[in-house]
Structures are given as C-alpha cells and as structure tokens.
C-alpha cells in the first residue's frame, strides 16, 4: 500500500506526516484507510450494521436499552452529513449509540468514529479487532504525541470533508477522553479539534447523552442477562450553529467556542436522561 | 513590544498553570511547557486563550500547535504584534 493519488473518501496524508509514525502505526493507518476507501466498504458496512450490530445488541443491550428522541435523528434534514456528539464515560459508548441508530435506519452508508491511536493503531491485536469488529470504522486515529499531530490534523480535515456529504455519519466525543469522575453527569472541556470539524464542515450536529455502560464487556453481558443496569441514550435537537456564521474555523478561540456550544446542548440532555431513568 | 517585556508577561500567564515550581523559578526561553513546567495538556488551550486576551491577538490552531516552549510563545506573540 502506498500513499499516492487522491480519490473520493480517501484520507490525504502528506508523506512527511506519515513518516512521523512508527512502522506498525503507519501500516495500521494505511490499511484502515484502504478499507474505508475500497469498493469492499459497502459489504463491510452491511456486516457492521446487519451482523455485528445484531449480536452486540442481543448479548449486551437487548433487555436494558432505552432511547429518547431517536425519531428526531431519523427526521433530520438530508442536505449534509450528521455528526453525533456524545458524552464519554465508557469504551462502548459510540458502539451502542451507533447500534441503536442503525437498528432504525440505513440512511448513512458511511460511518466513522475517530479514536485515540493507543492500542487500535499501535498494537497488532488492536488493528485486528478494529478490522474484524468494526471494519475499520474506528477511523481516523488521533495521535497524542506532538510529533504526530500532523496526522491527527489530516484526519480531522478528512472528517470535515466527508461530513459535507449527506451520506456520512460521524460519531465524536467532544471531550476527547473518558470522564472518570464520580459524577456521571459531569462533562470535561471540549477538545478544539472537535470544534474545528464542526466549523469547517458545518454538519448537522446532534447532541447525545448516554449513561449506563461500564468498561467491561463481560459485565455488560451479565447485566443484560439479568435485565439490570439500564442504558439510556437521549438524542437532542440539532445544535443551532448560526452564531458561528462567517467565523474563521482556523482560529483556536472559535473552535473552543463551538465545542462549548455543543457541550452545553449535551449537558441540557441530562435532565431528560434523569427523568427517563426515574420512569423505568 | 520588547522581547523581554513579552517574556515577562508570558511567565506571569504561565504561573497559575505550571505544576513544577522549580522549573518555574529557573524559567527560560527553552523551558518546555509540558515537559519542564508540567502544564496539563488539557490546559494548553487555556494558556493560548490567555495569551490572546493579554496581547489582543488572534491565534490559529496551527500556530497554537507550534507552541511547545516559552520561547515559542514569545515568538508567536512578537510575530502577531509586529
């Protein structure tokens, strides 16, 4: 696999940025990029949404998942891509959110959720799991190291490009990392990179609040068998970003403001989640 | 604005964010914000925003990414204000 020649749906990575990665990181990234841009993508998308979704839901969430406002998402306008902006407490948040979406609609043939590169892009087992379980939809990778930031930036530019298409659904955690405090309703500050994607692409941003998942898949299975520990996902109305019309997406301050705006809307959903929880 | 003046102001901005008092007391242009001053990476954005407010400048995300040392911050500010 070489990095040459542009094509639709293919992340552009300048050679100098690619050279900043280790051998395994480079291979994992190029492979994931190839998989996402290849004609096989449609087949793998079907595997994800019709096969993996079903067994994940059957073993882990079928007896305990409750959604609020999912119909709002299905009814959103179709002129551009949709960005699901969700709070982050569990490794499985975006998996379960995506499963609930694709259970009711097949509207978006392209789905990405960017992940930290640790494990999925710097370990053979991680790269293998990314392929087998998600068909490399955990893409693009976000690298922590300063020297590799160019690759992360290329990834965010790729997402912004893809989100201009109504065929694309992207799941991002604006906080960039899992909240580990004792309060599940506390939100961390949004990463500027998230704000940059929002301002560059101006997608339809749907705020989502999810609560109820842990970081142990075996625990999720046990809870589902017992029908305990409900998982609640609240989908909000599209975020009004008109205040950012004409604002320069390259300015850090604007990126921070956009991120805060979206987090504010996610925060408002906690009341609906608490209400739904008391009614169970 | 003189480089020294900018440097002094930047040090004042950094004080509440720096966790390493020893590195702060011997701060220089080569001092790294994360490695030496042990500034939390999540607070780097706040530092850049403080710099914007204090010097009345606008910083792009690309330029913010280049700020790794105190000297980088000074260079950015001097370039933006000249």
Q: Which residues contact A173 (CB under 8 A, 6 or more apart)?
A: A85, A86, A87, A88, A93, A94
pLDDT at A152: 93
CA atoms of A255 and A194, how far apart (whole Å): 7
Q: CA-based angle B78:B81:B82, to the nearest 5?
A: 80
Of the candidates A146, A188, A255, the beta carbon closest to that of B61 is on A255
Which has the closest alpha carbon to B68: B52, B43, B44?
A: B44
Of the candidates B49, B58, B62, the beta carbon closest to that of A256 is on B49
**CATH entry, B3-81, from 1.10.1200.10, 1.20.120.400, 3.40.50.620, 3.40.47.10:** 1.10.1200.10
pLDDT digits (tens, 9 = 90+) for B20-71: 999 999 999 999 999 999 998 888 999 999 999 999 999 999 899 899 999 9
For chain B, the domains span 3-81
pLDDT at A22: 95
Integer CA distances (angstroms), A199 to A105, A142, A253, A254, in order: 27, 19, 12, 8
Query: Other CB atoms closer than 10 Å to residue B42's CB: what's the count?
Result: 13
* Structural tokens at position A85: 């902006």
Q: What share of chain B is helix, strand, coil (3-state, %, to 5)?
A: 65, 5, 35
pLDDT at A5: 35
Which has the closest alpha carbon to A217: A32, A82, A91?
A: A91
* Structural tokens at position A202: 């101006």
Residue of A253, A256, A259 to mutate, interface with B, max B Cβ within 10 Å: A253
Per-residue pLDDT of chain A (280 residues; tens, 9 = 90+): 444 433 456 899 999 999 999 999 999 999 999 999 998 888 989 999 999 999 999 999 999 999 999 998 888 888 999 999 999 999 999 999 999 999 999 999 999 999 999 999 999 999 999 988 888 999 999 998 888 989 999 999 999 999 999 999 999 999 999 999 999 999 999 999 999 999 999 999 999 999 999 999 999 999 999 999 999 999 999 999 999 999 999 999 999 999 999 999 999 999 999 999 999 9
- Answer whether A31's CB lies under 8 Å from A141's CB: no
pLDDT at A141: 95
pLDDT at A132: 87
- We report the CATH number of the domain holding residue A132 as 3.40.1130
Number of separate domains in chain A: 1
pLDDT at A1: 44
Of the candidates A189, A252, A256, the beta carbon closest to that of B60 is on A252
pLDDT at A8: 53
- B1 pLDDT more than 80: no
Q: Is A10 inside a domain boundary?
A: no
CA atoms of A167 and A111, how far apart (whole Å): 9
For A48, the domain range is 16-279
CA atoms of A10 and A124, how far apart (whole Å): 22
Give the residue from chain B lying closest to A254, CA to CA: B60
Q: Is A1 inside a domain boundary?
A: no
- Answer whether A207's CB lies under 8 Å from A149's CB: no
pLDDT at B63: 92
Write A216-222 long-range contacts (CB < 8 A, 24+). Answer: A217/A60, A217/A92, A220/A59, A220/A60, A220/A61, A220/A92, A221/A59, A221/A60
Q: Is A245 inside a domain boundary?
A: yes
Q: Do B58 and A146 touch (CB under 8 A)?
A: no
Give the residue from chain A lying closest to B62, CA to CA: A250
* Structural tokens at position A244: 């950012």
Q: Is B58 on the interface with A (CB under 8 A)?
A: yes
């Amino acid at each position: 696999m070489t990095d040459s020649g542009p094509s639709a749906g293919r992340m552009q990575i300048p050679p100098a940025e690619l050279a900043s990665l280790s051998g395994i990181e480079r291979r994992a990234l190029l492979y994931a990029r190839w998989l996402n841009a290849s004609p096989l993508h449609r087949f793998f998308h079907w595997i994800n949404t019709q096969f993996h979704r079903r067994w994940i839901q059957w073993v882990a969430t079928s007896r305990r998942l409750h959604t609020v406002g999912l119909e709002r998402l299905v009814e959103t306008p179709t002129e551009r891509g949709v960005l699901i902006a969700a709070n982050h407490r569990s490794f499985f948040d975006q998996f379960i959110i995506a499963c609930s979406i694709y259970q009711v609609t097949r509207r978006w043939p392209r789905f990405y959720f960017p992940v930290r590169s640790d494990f999925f892009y710097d370990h053979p087992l991680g790269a293998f799991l990314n392929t087998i379980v998600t068909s490399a939809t955990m893409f693009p990778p976000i690298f922590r190291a300063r020297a590799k930031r160019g690759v992360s930036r290329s990834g965010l530019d790729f997402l912004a490009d893809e989100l201009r298409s109504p065929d694309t659904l992207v799941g991002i955690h604006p906080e960039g990392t899992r909240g580990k405090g004792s309060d599940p309703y506390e939100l961390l500050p949004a990463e500027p990179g998230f704000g940059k994607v929002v301002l560059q692409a101006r997608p339809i941003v749907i705020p989502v609040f999810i609560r109820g998942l842990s970081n142990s898949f075996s625990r999720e299975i046990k809870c589902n068998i017992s029908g305990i520990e409900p998982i609640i996902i609240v989908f909000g109305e599209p975020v009004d970003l008109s205040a950012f019309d004409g604002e320069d997406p390259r300015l850090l301050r604007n990126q921070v403001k956009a991120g805060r705006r979206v987090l504010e809307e996610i925060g408002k959903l906690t009341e609906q989640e608490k209400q739904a929880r008391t009614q169970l | 604005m003189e480089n020294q003046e900018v440097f002094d102001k930047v040090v004042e901005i950094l004080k509440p964010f720096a966790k390493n008092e020893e590195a702060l007391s011997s701060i220089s242009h080569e001092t790294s914000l994360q490695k030496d001053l042990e500034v939390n990476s999540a607070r780097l954005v706040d530092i850049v925003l403080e710099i914007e407010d204090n010097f009345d400048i606008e910083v792009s995300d690309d330029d913010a990414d280049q700020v790794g040392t105190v000297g980088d911050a000074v260079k950015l500010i001097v370039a933006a204000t000249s």
